[in-house]
Chain A
């Protein structure tokens, strides 16, 4: 069965084609059934291939299948080749499983939307693109998937395109991603020039063979990281992700939390040979990740929009994954990606369920006390929040701890300190969210309260499944302190990750680190408890005492405004100037001038057109005379 692994991305593709071509004539129920089935089949084949991979001999731990030769020109070639190695396996399983659950959830969430069928078409197209991205065996094909998910992201952010803010957010996401893609493309070109091929195996050989000079490796690694920063919303290209919350909530969960935004992390992990070789690039990745982690976390502190808090939280968690990749702990980074996919999509879907219950209300200040109305939403939400905060024995704890321990072990104390600070903030803002939404006084609008209802089972069952994974997904990668050889996850990824785990800490230090991270998590929760349940006047006093800090945070450091002032507006104004002075005068002038010239010529020449048959005949005969004359003389 494993030889059919290349079918995995084709199920959603076929489904997309059917929905796009005949969707209008298909009944609604069938559309959602087919869309979910396609993703589920991908998942099933993913599991089969995964089991096949497990049973394969060591050293042959990769399946590969060339469907056809796509581009072949001189030395340059790019085949449509899919591969299935451990890293791909993790990504495929995460994408298809989370994707399937979110598809199911969407049946309930989107049930009243007029764009129901369009939604599922885009979602399937997204799943296809994402699977191509993670299964590609060369950078060119990966770029196809990369652009495909970007396109779907654009389409789905702007899904309610009649809303101006949604359309603008879609454009913003697309344009910001273009900047990253430019870096990615440049990186691919440099690899083509210096390596001569974009297959991962070829690059690997070239790197380990020492063909590339360190400077080139660093340059390529940094250019690729620009692409990763765009897609995975890192400083300075993170601005699009909070706005992307304009899209439907399942989209935020699938694309802007669980899968697409992690493509950058996946890419860095896939190209780990470059980052391992270039210490500079690795450090840049780690520092950018750490800064993003804490920077986004501070912005999440003051937001009142439930989805925006989660969005900043996503940016922050992506920062953690990059810390992992930057310090050489690629397995830990991917591990965090894997656990994060479960608890973050859980949080988003639960938030969507809250929205669904409250007729689209997003402002936490207008919620409160929802626990008794929405128990089936509350408990999954709580589990997700505990998992992301790093409270022990849930998945987020293990993965975040793995990253921070590795950062510490590599001697990157600055990064480690930023990460720990971020962990406090994470615990604080997540429980602020919980307390404001589900506990305390009811601040509901009476109109909203009248329609308050728990979400249907089609939405709450995926929540329960995701909650299950949020709790237990971490147990495949236990830290060393619980016993040797329990890190199945890292072992599984070893054939792909070429970094050696050189630094080992003593058991005592590890315990200390774990205690610190547990301590800060509990501290964060405790502060949130004091602030938002016990002494609710504290936040107000703080705001009054430090109005400047509050305003700065509330307005997200005015980064959007700064970008507008420094980059967007000058561009717009410059374009306007060029339009007025160059387009209107030079280009239009040239075109109008040539049109006027043609008109004038026509007027002159039309005097020959007398309309008399004989004149034409005469001219015709003259022409014949001249022609014969030319032949004769």
Chain B
């Protein structure tokens, strides 16, 4: 059963991303990504990271992608995209990316062997996660909050200044 869910979610994710690559409509792309990220959330759940799974679905698939959808609505990019001027770069890109993929597989080749070994089941309830977050990772956590405020203010300033001029 677990294998079935895993393969289902994986295939849906990869398919969504592949369609994302093919599609030329940004709005469709955003929706496809929401699908992919939701499935990723499911995969996190399978791995036992239930809190992260929820966060993934609520924040990533929910908040962040909705932001993208808004921006796509504000920017009208429906005009017909003209053909690529420098076609050779696209072929080169595909080739390079494939080489990259091959290299990544070579990299993890070693870790594939002990795949059968049972992974340790771990406690990943929000309580222990939260405890860790507020003890060992307290400073990174605080710094992240500063980062978010900076990003918030920064985004406001960037967009606001333009409207004045």
Interface residues of A (CB under 8 A from B): 614-615, 618, 621-622, 624-625, 628-629, 632
Contacts and interface: CB of A to CB of B under 8 A. Distances in A.
Which DSSP category, helix, strand, loop or mixed, fits chain A's interface?
Answer: helix
A621 B92 CA distance: 12
B156 to A, nearest CB: 25
A622 B100 CA distance: 8
Interface string B99-131: 110011011000000000000000000000000
Given A618-B93, A628-B107, 17 more contacts: A614-B89, A614-B93, A615-B89, A618-B89, A618-B92, A618-B96, A621-B96, A621-B97, A621-B100, A622-B96, A624-B100, A625-B96, A625-B103, A628-B104, A629-B103, A632-B103, A632-B106
A628 B107 CA distance: 8
A622 B92 CA distance: 11
Nearest to A627: B103
23 contacts: A614-B89, A614-B93, A615-B89, A618-B89, A618-B92, A618-B93, A618-B96, A621-B96, A621-B97, A621-B100, A622-B96, A624-B100, A625-B96, A625-B99, A625-B100, A625-B103, A628-B103, A628-B104, A628-B107, A629-B103, A632-B103, A632-B106, A632-B107
Interface in B59-75: none
A512 B142 CA distance: 98
Contacts of A621: 96-97, 100
Contacts of B93: 614, 618
Interface in B72-90: 89
Contacts of A628: 103-104, 107
Interface string B12-52: 00000000000000000000000000000000000000000
Contacts of B103: 625, 628-629, 632
Interface of B: 89, 92-93, 96-97, 99-100, 103-104, 106-107
B106 to A, nearest CB: 6
Nearest to B89: A614
A621 B93 CA distance: 9
Contacts of A615: 89
A306 B103 CA distance: 94
Which DSSP category, helix, strand, loop or mixed, fits chain B's interface?
Answer: helix
A632 B99 CA distance: 14
A632 B107 CA distance: 7
Contacts of A632: 103, 106-107
Contacts of B92: 618
A628 B108 CA distance: 12
B39 to A, nearest CB: 26
Contacts of B99: 625
A10 B140 CA distance: 53
B120 to A, nearest CB: 28
A546 to B, nearest CB: 90
Contacts of B96: 618, 621-622, 625
A621 B106 CA distance: 17
Contacts of B100: 621, 624-625
A370 B106 CA distance: 108
A618 B93 CA distance: 7
A348 B68 CA distance: 89
Contacts of A618: 89, 92-93, 96
B95 to A, nearest CB: 10
Contacts of B107: 628, 632
A373 B90 CA distance: 105
A453 to B, nearest CB: 72
Nearest to A632: B106
A621 B98 CA distance: 11
A464 to B, nearest CB: 75
A405 B91 CA distance: 108
Contacts of A624: 100
Contacts of A622: 96
A625 B95 CA distance: 12
A627 to B, nearest CB: 10
Nearest to A621: B96
Contacts of A614: 89, 93
A625 B102 CA distance: 10
Contacts of B97: 621
B112 to A, nearest CB: 15
Give 10 closest A-B pairs by Cβ, nearest first: A628-B103, A625-B100, A621-B96, A625-B99, A632-B106, A618-B93, A625-B103, A621-B100, A622-B96, A618-B96
Nearest to A624: B100
B96 to A, nearest CB: 6
Nearest to A617: B93
B92 to A, nearest CB: 7
A607 to B, nearest CB: 15
A624 B99 CA distance: 11
B104 to A, nearest CB: 8
B94 to A, nearest CB: 11
Nearest to B103: A628
A618 B100 CA distance: 11
Nearest to B97: A621
A624, A625, A632 interface centre (most CB from chain B within 10 Å) = A625
Nearest to B92: A618
A624 B100 CA distance: 8
Nearest to B96: A621
A622 B95 CA distance: 11
Nearest to A619: B96
A632 B100 CA distance: 13
A530 B104 CA distance: 113
Contacts of B106: 632
A324 to B, nearest CB: 76
Contacts of B89: 614-615, 618
A341 B9 CA distance: 103
B89, B99, B100, B103 interface centre (most CB from chain A within 10 Å) = B103
Nearest to B99: A625
A1 to B, nearest CB: 59
A624 B92 CA distance: 16
A626 to B, nearest CB: 10
Nearest to A626: B103
Nearest to B93: A618
A632 to B, nearest CB: 6
A9 B95 CA distance: 81
